[in-house]
Amino acid sequence: MTNPSTDLALSAHNIRKSYGDKEILRGISVDVRKGEHIAIIGPSGSGKSTFIRCLNALEAPDAGTIDLQGERVFDADRRTPVASVRELRRRVGMVFQSFNLFATHTALENVSLAQRRVLGRDKAQAAARSEELLDRVGLKEHMLKLPRQLSGGQQQRVAIARSLALDPEVILFDEPTSAIDPEMRVEVLKVMKELAEGGMTMLMVTHEIQFAREAADRVMFIADGEVVGLGTPEALLEDPEHERIRRFVNALNGVV
């Protein structure tokens, strides 16, 4: 089954997820256009991270479907085969809160490894691509360092380069600055903004409201496992009509 709309990069419909008796996601749907950037905001525990983990099958939705470039890649009723899940994770990259780098591998090796295992590139090809991407995120001079020799912001930029190395069609970011010292956040957000300006399709769970204003085409507000609002940054962040969104934005802005 295919999606007739050719300008959609990703389409998720009626995504539901429960852990035991607790329903985390209550039927979330979104269509993401090619090159679009969506910031996902909302209170802690609202289901934001669970939702994007469902989008590349790190979590298996209990219900719903996911289409990628018009191709049905997940259907909860039919349970996608493992091979298709592997392909989905290659095509939909993920950058986590924690950097998840191999401690005994250099930055260059961390970016190269998945290329060799997943894409079948040889050592020289993977190293050349890794060097190019580490240069792109401003880390070429640090490419032979181990993760412990890098700052949190530098490690996260290595993780972004690693995700880009698989040539994904969409990249998901799960609060990528939350584990980083405030002074180091700027360098990570700068790389993300450059990716957005370069046309990468991105969904970003974030509490960085100013970044959402500047880099997102649309903002999705999730609360209690449901989409409460989805619209432009101006509509949702400047003068939100929904009271739940207004309270959240005011709290982030320090408004009583």
Q: How far is CA 53 from CA 76, 168, 171, 207, 240, in A?
A: 14, 15, 11, 17, 27
Listed residue (225, 189, 162, 205) closest to 29, CA to CA: 225
Q: Name the DSSP class of 39.
A: E
Domains of the chain by start residue, with CATH: 8-252 (3.40.50.300)
Give the pLDDT of residue 168. Answer: 95
Joined together, the tokens standing for residue 65 give 């479907």
Give the pLDDT of residue 222. Answer: 97
Across 69-214, the runs of DSSP E, i.e. the strands, are 71-75, 92-95, 170-174, 201-205
Q: Are strands 226-231 and 218-223 parallel, antiparallel or unpaired?
A: antiparallel
Lateral strand order in the sheet of 71-75: 22-33, 8-19, 63-68, 71-75
Joined together, the tokens standing for residue 89 give 């994770």
Listed residue (145, 153, 8) closest to 95, CA to CA: 153
Digitized pLDDT (tens) for each residue of the chain, 256 residues in all: 344 456 999 999 999 999 999 999 999 999 999 999 999 999 999 999 999 999 998 999 999 999 999 998 889 888 666 667 778 888 999 999 888 999 999 999 999 998 999 899 999 999 999 999 999 999 999 999 999 999 999 999 999 999 999 999 999 999 999 888 888 889 999 999 999 999 999 999 998 888 999 999 999 999 999 999 999 999 999 888 889 999 998 887 765 4
Q: Can you name the residues that pair with 93 across neighbouring β-strands? A: 171
User: Quick check: 144 and 100 in contact, CB under 8 A?
Assistant: no
Q: How far is CA 144 from CA 50, 64, 103, 139, 159, in A?
A: 34, 43, 13, 10, 15
Joined together, the tokens standing for residue 199 give 């046309």
Q: Cα–chain-centroid distance for residue 163?
A: 10
